[in-house]
Amino acid sequence: MNQAKKNVSLLVACQALAMTGSIILFTIAALVGVSLAADKSLATLPLALLQLATMCATIPAALLMRQVGRRLGFMVGVLIGTLGAGLGVLAIFQSSFSLFCLATLIFGCFNGFVGYYRFAAADAATEAFRSQAISFVVSGGIIAAIAGPGLAIWSKDWFVEPSLANEPLLNQAASAEYAGCLVMIVILQIAALVLLSGIDIPPLSEQEQQKSGRSLGAIAQQPVFIVAVFGSMLGYGLMAMVMTATPLAMVAFSHSFETAASVIQWHVLGMFVPSLFTGFLIARFGTLRIILAGAILSSLCIAINLMGTGALHFGVALLLLGVGWNFMFVGSSTLLTQAYTPVERAKTQAMHDFLMFAFVAFATFLSGRLLESFSWAVVNYIGLVMILIVLVALGWFRQQRGAIAKSHSTL
């Protein structure tokens, strides 16, 4: 196996471990928040802070990796994630909502590094293989989809006293419940650290170190950049908002934690299984058509969520949402690679992920507020507005591209 293939394989494995930890945390965080927070509308605040930290970490992570290289940069990120998960364990034992918020904030900084796994693979790939490289790395989430919810169920009662095991879900003392889930995340982080030691990605060239290319303003004015950001930002924001609210909504509609975890598992499978072929679909049908397909699938999720609140409704809707997210995320990430030159890639990727995770943080926090203050239906109606904006952006970009092609043909 040559080094390029080895790098991609290791990045896939690291993505799998990172996503497994994130899925465990996303499965339990809102429920821990409900148990710890005096104001139940703040239940999703820890996840919102996680997304906020991810947003804030994207630019420093890019700058760090520009200076020290991908491998060392990724290893620093994993150590930060280990610290965050460890603090989460302490927060649960101390029944401290503020400390749990700090823990998710630190863990979010780690996620700011994880976002560059896909770009590390894309940067090392040929142009023809770029979409497949991104897709393959994202496919690491398939393992996470299978393992994450199961590990959450298996580990959540590791430190629960037997006398409390049969207490109602939202009434259990949070001092011990779910602490095992955070310990599991620490174990996953240690495994990722070992794998990262085998990655060997060439450092930036002298040209990339010395030149900066166009300004961020000039890059951001390109229609291709605007549409890539809208596709990623709104597609990811919609997914995070609906997924974060789903466990809370399901418990409110009298579904068990195990049922909610199963729904999240099917959702995550929908997020990552398509990555086995999304890159090939992009090569066959084009990036814009795949983003459009993702928007349509996401709208079907909203429709099903509004039709009922049974376990089947939640399961099918979240599965469609996962596939829709995959098409929009991989498609938009691939589209972004058309917006920059090699010397511009670090700052362009950083700006893209900064904007994306800023909106995801907002949408994640908004989900709890909307669910607590209004209803599950309102959460979905807001998601529908996000989809409509993506559809408008795609239509505008097609018009812009058509106008440019027409002007070139008349020259």
Look at residues 204, 242, 211 and name the one whose alpha carbon lies nearest to residue 384. Answer: 242
Q: 68 in a domain, yes or no?
A: yes
**Range(s) of the domain holding residue 101:** 3-199+214-405
The answer to whether residue 275 sits within a structural domain is yes
- Residue 75 inside a domain? The answer is yes
pLDDT for 182 equals: 92
pLDDT at 155: 86
> Does the pLDDT of residue 405 top 80, yes or no?
no
**CA 28, chain centre distance (Å):** 16
The pTM of this model reads 0.76
pLDDT beyond 90 at 292: yes
Mean residue pLDDT of the chain comes to 85
Per-residue pLDDT band for 38 (boundaries 50, 70, 90) equals: confident
N-term to C-term CA, the chain: 49
Would you give the DSSP letter of residue 128? Answer: T
How remote is the C-alpha of 329 from its chain's centroid?
9
| Residue 411 is assigned to a structural domain of this protein | no
In a domain, 257, yes or no: yes
List pLDDT tens digits, range 177-214: 788 899 999 999 999 999 998 887 766 666 556 666 78
Q: How far is CA 92 from CA 54, 100, 156, 182, 411, in A?
A: 22, 7, 11, 9, 67
Can you spell out the DSSP letters for 66-86?
A: HHH-HHHHHHHHHHHHHHHHH
DSSP letters for 195-211: HHTT---PPPPHHHHH-
238 pLDDT more than 50: yes
Question: What are the φ and ψ backbone dihedral angles of 213, each rounded to 5 degrees?
Answer: 75, -155
Residue 208 lies in a domain: no
Question: What is the pLDDT, as a whole number, of residue 62?
Answer: 86
Please list the alpha-helical segments (H only) found in 94-199.
97-114, 116-124, 130-138, 141-155, 179-196
Distance of CA 167 to the CA centre of its chain: 32
Nearest Cα neighbor of 45 from 21, 24, 29 is: 29
* pLDDT tens by residue, 350-365: 899 889 988 987 888 7
Q: How many domains does the chain fold into?
A: 1
pLDDT for residue 43 is more than 50: yes
3-state secondary structure of 212: coil
Tokens of residue 362, six digits: 């907002």
How far apart (Å, rounded) are the C-alpha atoms in residues 408 and 405?
A: 5
Given this model, what pLDDT does residue 169 score? 43
Share of the chain above pLDDT 70, in %: 89
Confidence at residue 107, expressed as pLDDT on a 0 to 100 scale: 94
Average pLDDT, stretch 127-132? 72
For position 146, what pLDDT does the model report? 82
Q: Which is nearest to 229 in space by CA: 355, 54, 115, 397? A: 355
pLDDT in tens, 244-277: 888 888 988 888 878 887 888 788 789 888 988 8
The answer to whether residue 207 is domain-embedded is no
pLDDT value for 4: 67
Residue 42 lies in a domain: yes
Q: What is the CATH number of the domain that holds 291?
A: 1.20.1250.20
d(CA 164, CA 34): 17
Q: What is the mean pLDDT of residues 161-176?
A: 51
Contacts with 104 (C-beta within 8 Å, 6 or more apart), sequence order: 25, 29, 46, 47, 49, 50, 53, 84, 88
| 256 Cβ contact partners less than 8 Å away, ≥ 6 residues apart | 169
User: What average pLDDT does the segment 37-66 reach?
Assistant: 83
Evaluate whether 51 touches 360 at the Cβ level (below 8 Å).
Answer: yes
